[in-house]
Chains A and B, each alone.
Chain A
Amino acid sequence: MSQINVKTLKQDFPILSRKIGEHNLVYLDSAATSQKPQKVIDAIVDYYSNHNANVHRGAHVLGDEATELYEAARKKTATFIGARIPQEVIFTKNTTEALNMVARGYALKNLTKDDIILTTGAEHNSNLLPWLAICKQIGAKLEFLTITDAGDISLAELKAKLNPKVKFLVIFHASNVLGTILPVKEICDLAHQYDTKVVVDGSQAVPHLLVNMQSLGCDFYAFSGHKMLGPMGIGVLWGREELLNQTEPVAFGGGMILEFDLVNPRWMQVPDKFEAGTPNVAGAVGLGVAIDYLTSVGMENVRAHELELNDYALKQLANVPDLVILGSQDPKKRTGLVSFTVNSIHAHDIAAVLSEQGICVRSGMHCAMKFHKDLDLAASVRASFYVYNSNEDIDRLVQGLYKAIKVLKK
Chain B
Amino acid sequence: MTNNFYREQLMEIYKNPAHLGTLATPTVQVHEVNPMCGDEITLQLSIQDGKIVDAKFAGSACAVSIVSSELLLEDIKGKTLQEAKQITKEKLLNLIGITLTTSRVRCATLSLEALNNAIKKYENTK
Residue of B nearest to A408 (CB): B63
Among A347, A378, A379, chain B packs the most CB atoms within 10 A around the CB of: A378
User: DSSP majority for the A interface?
Assistant: helix
A352, A364, A407: the one within 8 Å of B36 (CB): A364
Q: 0/1 per residue, A368-410, Cβ < 8 Å to B?
A: 0100100001110000000000000000000000000001101
Nearest CB of chain A from residue B100's CB, rounded to whole Å: 10
Nearest CB of chain B from residue A261's CB, rounded to whole Å: 45
Interface size in chain A (residues, C-beta < 8 A): 19
Nearest CB of chain A from residue B65's CB, rounded to whole Å: 8
Q: Is A356's CB within 8 Å of the partner chain B? A: yes
8 A Cβ contacts from B1-47 to A: 4-6, 11, 14-15, 35-40
B14, B35, B37, B40: the one within 8 Å of A348 (CB): B37
Let me know if B6 and A346 touch, CB within 8 A. no
Let me know if A369 and B6 touch, CB within 8 A. no
Q: Is A115's CB within 8 Å of the partner chain B? A: no
Among B11, B36, B38, B63, chain A packs the most CB atoms within 10 A around the CB of: B38
Let me know if B38 and A407 touch, CB within 8 A. no
Let me know if B104 and A352 touch, CB within 8 A. yes
Binding site for A on B (CB under 8 A): 4-6, 11, 14-15, 35-40, 60-64, 101, 104, 107
Residue of B nearest to A364 (CB): B37
- A348 contacts which chain B residues (CB < 8 A)? 37-39, 62-64, 104, 107
Let me know if B6 and A379 touch, CB within 8 A. no
Let me know if A378 and B40 touch, CB within 8 A. yes
Let me know if A369 and B4 touch, CB within 8 A. no
B4, B6, B37: the one within 8 Å of A347 (CB): B37
Let me know if A379 and B104 touch, CB within 8 A. no
Report the Cα distance A302→B64, complex, angstroms. 38
Let me know if A349 and B38 touch, CB within 8 A. no
